[in-house]
Structure 1
Amino acid sequence: MDALVISSVGKTEFRAIEPPSLNRGEVLLDVRFVGLCGSDLNTYRGANPLAALPRIPGHEIGGVIAATGAEVPAEFVRGKAGIVIPYTTCGRCSACRAGRQNACKHNQTLGVQREGGMAAQLAVPYENFILNETLPAAQLALVEPLSVGFHAVARGRVDATDTVLVLGAGMIGIGAVLAAQARGARVLVAEVSEAKRATLAALGVEAMINPLSEDLATRVEALTDGHGADVVVEAVGLPETFRGAIDLACFGGRVVYVGYAKSKVSYETALFNLKELDILGSRNALRADFEAVITCLTAQPHLGDLLISRVFPWSEADQALPYWEAHRQETFKVMIEMQESQNG
């Protein structure tokens, strides 16, 4: 069967690979939709230190069970659709023992540290496949990226009394927006792309602030009666936004870092203490976050139309990453629709 491979920096191509073997405790999936993530784009750019080339990308995966291995529970039957949890857990490290498997010390994410889902079929442990018969096929691949933002909001202990400032309106930032709204919070977004303004308004964001044309600190101060945001979710991953999150949080506030800075970040640390900030990291997502996203998407079926910017057929999958690279400002989610004709 064919797979899409990032073969070298700035190059994708189709390659023939062996079909996956099916081991005990696994389900074999016919992959239906795969979303492209910022980590895939960074791998394509040569800017992902966690991914070696060549690499099959893709960890945002919706599929249908084609076969099951031994010792798989009876409810996992052929033809059932669902969502892949693309992380591994060792069960032994301190994070796993604490019930925080999303931060497993030895995690290997599909499409990053190991080969991803951009192929006709994929075998995964049944525990890593959430059965779902309610969401449209394309929206199954929306769950994982949104769940990362949901996890960040859970880390920030957001509630209905909070004003939440989300830095960056990529899919992780959008997940944080939806999660904060689901908890009843007031949501502000800082985003440099004016092309995203209308969609953010349709999502119910109170204010989108463009730091390139407005003074972000001044606007946030005005919108929060001079206090600053109760919770700042950093979903950009730049040194300036890492530092800015500290400045924009209120006294006694919380800062959640879900972005991944690619270079060292220097701080003046006085505000850590003066504001007595809770500064939190956030990584991946727990199954509970996936379930919360499923509930959100089920209740708001229009979200798929708002967030899926373009779907490429499998025959054009090699064009998807170059397209996203050229259209980042107006793009939320690019997906690949897989086709049965791959199984040749």
Structure 2
Amino acid sequence: MQALTILRPNEATLTEKLVPTPAAGEVAIDIAFVGYCGSDLTSYRGLNPLVSYPRVPGHEISGTIAELGEGVDAMSVGTPVTVLPYFNCGICRACRSGRPNACPNNQTMGVQREGAMTARIVVPAEKIIPVTGISQRDLALVEPCAVGFHAVRRAELTADETVVVLGCGMIGLGVILGALRQGANVIAVDLSDAKLDVAKKLGAHEVINASGDVKARVAELTGEGPDVVVEAVGAEATFLQAVDLVATAGRVVYIGYAKAPIAYDTKYFITKELDIRGSRNALRSDFDDVIDELRKRPEAGDLIVTRTATLAEAPEALATWHERPGDFTKILVRF
């Protein structure tokens, strides 16, 4: 079978792989769709320190159970599924405390280990999430949305609060959906009017183009500032902006990875008595919440997916995303 493989920075091509067979306790999945993640783009650009080459990317997965390994009795061939793509150690402090998403030894498919951008994969049975009532296309949106939902969980956002979401890429849209699920008031900020339009159609109460005076507009809308700011860009400007925008005694949650160290004026952490929180990956409960939400909102996929490519087109689609990142919210590869 063929797989999309990043051979080295700025070079992706199709390579031949053996069709895998499940061992005891494993499940084989025939892939339907895989989404390109921002980490895949970073790997393509040679900027992901966690990746070695060559690497098959892909951890935003939908498919169908094709074969069961010995001892897997609770599942059935033909069942539509998505996959929890994080492989934690199970023994570290994070794992012992019920936060395996923060495991320092984590290996994510398509990053530290081979991903799913191929026709069939094999994973341990405990990583399988059977799902009904959602299209295969939209099943591939569950993982990135779950990352956004987890940030909302980390923020402890409630229905009477206002959140500013910096960045309306795929993860930022997941934050918006998760915040709306909590009943919060959502203000979305981005440089792209097209992405802001998607955020508005998904239900964001207000949108702000970041080319203007964001702080003045947020103050106009919130008075003393938002209760929560979620940073979903990973840029120095938005890391600093989050602290500047949030209300006194508010919470800031960072999902984006900044590419270089950032110098803060830390007095604002103290004088505003802020809670500064990180958010990494997602928990199974976040996946379950997203699945429930996407069942209720079948229109969300139509708004989010920018392009669907075949496997033959996948190298070109990745190169085009690299060249024009602002043009795409989500690219899916269809098998």
Task: Tell me if TM exceeds 0.5.
Answer: yes
Amino acid at match of 1:248: L
Shift of 1:41: 0.5
The answer to whether the aligner puts 1:8 opposite 2:11 as a matched pair is no
Counterpart amino acid of residue 184 in structure 2: A
> Does the alignment pair 1:186 with 2:185?
yes
Shift of 1:71: 1.8
Alignment of 1:54-73 (within 5 A): 54-73=54-73
Contact in 1 for aligned 2:168/2:196 (Cα 8 Å): no
1:124 deviation in Å?
0.6
8 Å contact from structure 2 (residues 196, 209) kept in 1 = no
Partner of 1:246: 243
In structure 1, the residue corresponding to 2:312 is in which secondary structure?
Answer: helix
Cα distance between partner residues in 2 of 1:236 and 1:167: 7
Work out the CA distance in 2 between the residues paired with 1:97 and 1:77: 31
| Displacement of 1:319 | 1.4
1:303 — aligned with what?
300
Partner of 2:97: 98
In structure 2, what is the equivalent of residue 162 of structure 1?
Answer: 161
Displacement of 1:120 after TM fit?
Answer: 0.8
CA contact 2:188–2:196 (8 Å) conserved in 1: no
**1:223-281 residue CA offsets vs partner (Å, 9 max, x unmatched):** 101x1110000101111211111111101100001111110011111111111111100
SS at match of 1:229: coil
Answer yes or no: is the 8 Å Cα contact 2:189–2:196 preserved in 1. no
Distance 2:321 2:179 in 1: 27
Residue 10 of structure 1: how far off its partner (Å)? 1.2
C-alpha deviation, 1:8, in angstroms:
1.6
Cα distance in structure 2, aligned partners of 1:64 and 1:5: 22
In structure 1, the partner of 2:315 is 318
Query: What is the letter of the counterpart of residue 35 of structure 1?
Result: G
* 1:24-50 deviation digits (Å, cap 9, x = unpaired): 211001011000000000101111111
SS of equivalent residue, structure 2 residue 306: strand
> Residue 79 of structure 1 corresponds to which residue in structure 2?
78
- The aligned residue for residue 229 of structure 2 is 232
Q: Distance in 1 between matches of 2:143 and 2:62?
A: 10
**Which residue of the other structure, out of 288, 292, 296, is the alignment partner of 2:285?**
288
Q: State how far apart, in whole Å, the 2-side matches of 1:317 and 1:263 are.
A: 29
CA distance in 2, matches of 1:294, 1:119: 24
1:139-150 aligned at under 5 Å gives the runs: 139-150=138-149
Q: Deviations over 1:123-182 (max 9, x none)?
A: 011111100121101011000000000000000000111100001011110010000000
CA offsets, 1:189-234, max 9 Å, x none? Answer: 110112223212211212221222x111111111101x11100001
SS in structure 2 opposite 1:67? strand
* Per-residue deviation, 1:329: 1.8
Counterpart AA for 2:23:
N
Identity %, equivalent residues: 48
Structure-2 separation of matches of 1:333 and 1:83: 17
Distance in structure 1 (CA, Å) of the matches to 2:197 and 2:241: 25
Secondary structure, aligned partner of 1:70? coil
Among 319, 331, 334, the residue aligned to 1:334: 331
Which blocks of at least 5 consecutive residues in structure 2 are unaligned?
none
Q: Give yes or no for the alignment of 1:255 onto 2:252.
A: yes
1:33 aligns with 2:33: yes
Q: One-letter code of the match for 1:260?
A: Y
Match of 1:342 in 2: none
8 Å CA contact 2:158–2:182 kept in 1: the answer is yes
CA distance in structure 1 between the aligned counterparts of 2:163 and 2:203, rounded to whole angstroms: 13
| Partner secondary structure for residue 256 of structure 1 | strand
In 2, Cα distance between equivalents of 1:306 and 1:30: 26
CA distance in structure 2 between the aligned counterparts of 1:205 and 1:114, rounded to whole angstroms:
36
> In the alignment, which of 214, 217, 230 is matched to residue 216 of structure 1?
214
Letter in 1 for 2:281: N
**Aligned partner of 2:325: which letter?**
R
For 1:84, give the aligned amino acid: V
Q: Report the secondary structure of 1:22's partner residue.
A: coil
Q: CA deviation at 1:5?
A: 0.4
* 1:21 Cα deviation from its structure 2 partner: 3.5
Structure 1 unaligned blocks of 5 or more? 339-344
Shift, 1:73, TM fit: 3.1
Distance (whole Å) between structure 2 residues aligned to residue 314 and residue 36 of structure 1: 12
Q: Which amino acid aligns with 2:221?
A: L
Amino acid across the alignment from 2:180: Q
**3-state SS in 2 of match to 1:322:** helix
Query: Which whole-Å CA distance do the structure 1 matches of 2:242 and 2:210 have between them?
Result: 13
Q: Give the letter aligned to residue 147 of structure 1.
A: A
Is 2:151 the counterpart of 1:152? Answer: yes
d(CA) in 1 for partners of 2:20, 2:131:
23
8 Å CA contact 1:196–1:330 kept in 2: the answer is no
